[in-house]
Amino acid sequence: MITYVALLRGINVGGNNKVDMKKLKISFEKIGLKNVVTYINSGNIIFDSHLKSVKSITNKIEGVIEKDFKLSIRVVLRSDAEIRALIKKIPKNWKNDSEYKTDVWFLWDEYRSKDTLGLLKINKTVDKVSYYDGVIVWRVKKKDFSKSKMNEVIKTKIYKHITVRNINTVRKIEEIVTK
């Protein structure tokens, strides 16, 4: 049995694509996923599965969301091992707090490459950007946010191929999968 994290893109944001987490948990269980746990309302679901094909699991999840919630939601799937490895690579002092904004961008497979960094505008004087396997981590001081190019990702072709979590959320997910 493998533990996975499903990261849903664009649910419960600004009152759009509303999905009740209790109902979502039931939907995951209905397709055979085990030990399903949701974390906060933004579409973070931890579960176990005997299936090893990430594509197969992702297709099942996207299908059940379409069927049960009438929403076409893309899902990024990562194993517990991938989440733990990611957290080990990100410097411990990279936080989302009163001084810094630190976001973790999970990439869809078609952009799961360090080459994706070349598609982004980065202000190297204020933006600290790192690529880890299938993830871009972007850190900027909040006082410098107006100089940052972080918000310009919305103008790029990769924007619809990522789902973003702040680093604190990703660290909490890592705690959950490690239990």
Over residues 129-151, the pLDDT tens digits come to 999 989 999 999 999 999 998 88
Give the residue carrying structure tokens 């990439």. Answer: 107
**Nearest CA-CA partner of 103 in 161, 71, 142, 48:** 142
Walk me through the domains of the chain, giving residue ranges and CATH numbers: 2-81 (3.30.70.1280), 88-178 (3.30.70.1260)
H-assigned helices in 39-166: 54-69, 80-89
Please compute Rg for the chain using Cα positions.
16
Q: pLDDT band for 12, please (50, 70, 90 cuts).
A: low
Return phi, psi of residue 125, to 5°. Answer: -80, -25
Q: What was the pLDDT predicted at 167?
A: 95
- Give the residues across from 73 on adjacent strands: none
Tens of pLDDT along 26-49? 999 999 999 999 998 778 999 999
Tens of pLDDT along 52-98? 889 999 999 999 999 999 989 899 999 999 999 999 999 999 999 99
> Could you tell me which residue, 9 or 57, shows the higher pLDDT?
57
pLDDT of 107 over the 90 cut: yes
Q: What was the pLDDT predicted at 13?
A: 62
User: Within a 10 A sphere around the Cβ of 149, how many other Cβ atoms?
Assistant: 17
CA gap 104, 169 in Å, rounded: 9
Q: Which residues contact 66 (CB under 8 A, 6 or more apart)?
A: 72, 73
Average pLDDT over residues 110-118: 90
Q: What was the pLDDT predicted at 40?
A: 86
Q: What was the pLDDT predicted at 114?
A: 92
Tokens of 68: 């049960």
Q: What was the pLDDT predicted at 14?
A: 59
Q: pLDDT band for 51, please (50, 70, 90 cuts).
A: confident
C-alpha distances in angstroms, 47 versus 4, 35, 136, 155, 164?
6, 5, 24, 33, 20
Query: pTM for this structure?
Result: 0.91
